[in-house]
Amino acid sequence: MNKKYFYILITIFLVIIFYFKSLIISNVLLVFNQTKQNISEYITHIHNNIKTHFNQAEQIKLLNKENQHYKNYIEKIKPILLSYKQLTKLQKIDTPNVVFTQTISYAKLPDMTMIYIDYIDKNLTTPKGLIYNNVTAGIVLKSFNKFSLASLNNNEQTSYTVFIGKEKIPGVLFGGDKIIIKYIPKYKKINIGDLVITSGLDGVFYKGALVGKVVEVKEKKLYQEAKVKLFYNDLNPEFFYVVETPAQKLKK
């Protein structure tokens, strides 16, 4: 191409630019503005995503903290819930001579046959019966300022008078590893399976609280002995009734 044609093309190009300058500039600005807007929207989108992520992370952190708080709370109230679950199994005793009481703790571990209960009687001089659903559980031995000491049936300090079988044969029950009724008259016939109830004659229980059944009988020189399988033999006690004035027989 010679110089003449080259200059002509340059001239035409310049003329086109001159006449269409406004259009070109507006299109360039339009593209620039559109690109700028797209970049701005993209940056805003990224910022929102980052913010959302951090908000979610913070929310998750708060929820985890709240969840742990409720877990800790549930763990704290579990023993209370279990206690009240057992309380629903405690039947109302239809006599004004008993007082509701609750276990505080074991008296001296590892011995689980002695417990402290939230019962107070400053004038306690003789043992009082401890019952659960009209079944003998033990006896109250001593009363302090804010609680009392009780021995369960499996404790050697527990003893009270009982009747055996339909003939109401008298004897004295002694607690321990084996529950034995002693001082049973030799001339009375004791049978395996005989029902044992409280006599109420010693002032510890009312007459008729359930104790257990005879599982073995032994002859001694002066009297008979009977081994008893208890109806109540729970080493995880929660609730009881204390027999305060046992002279009155339990109402049916």
| DSSP assignment string, 87-104 | HTTPPPPSSTTEEEEEEE
Residue 170 has pLDDT above 80, yes or no: yes
**Selected residue with higher pLDDT from 173 and 5:** 173
What pLDDT is recorded for position 86? 52
Half-sphere exposure of 226 (CA within 13 A, CB side): 31
Question: CB neighbours of 167 closer than 8 A, spacing ≥ 6?
Answer: 188
Angle at the Cα of 90 from the Cα atoms of 113 and 137, rounded to 5 degrees: 25
Q: Cα(18)–Cα(23) distance, rounded to whole angstroms?
A: 10
Maximum Cα interatomic distance, the chain, rounded to a whole number of Å:
154
Q: How far is CA 171 from the centre of its chain?
A: 39
198-202 contacts at long range (C-beta below 8 A, 24 or more positions apart): 198/129, 198/136, 198/160, 198/161, 198/162, 198/163, 199/161, 199/162, 199/163, 199/168, 199/170, 200/161, 200/246, 200/247, 200/249, 201/161, 201/170, 202/160, 202/161
Residue 18 has pLDDT above 60, yes or no: no
Average of per-residue pLDDT across 193-213: 94
Among 145, 156, 153, 116, CA closest to 234:
153
* pLDDT tens readout for residues 36-79: 676 667 667 777 767 676 677 677 777 676 666 656 655 554 45
Residue 250 has pLDDT above 50, yes or no: no
> Is 0.75 surpassed by the pTM of this model?
no
Q: Which residues pair with 197 in a beta bridge?
A: 163, 210
**For residue 210, what are the CA distances in angstroms to 51, 130, 132, 197?**
71, 12, 10, 5
Which secondary-structure segment (H or E) carries 136?
A: strand 135-143
Amino acid in the structure at residue 219: E
What pLDDT is recorded for position 146? 87
Compute the chain's Rg from CA coordinates.
45
Question: CB neighbours of 9 closer than 8 A, spacing ≥ 6?
Answer: none
* pLDDT tens readout for residues 226-245: 999 999 877 667 889 899 87
Q: In this structure, is the dihedral angle defined by the CA atoms of residues 123, 129, 130 and 131, taken in order, positive or negative?
A: negative
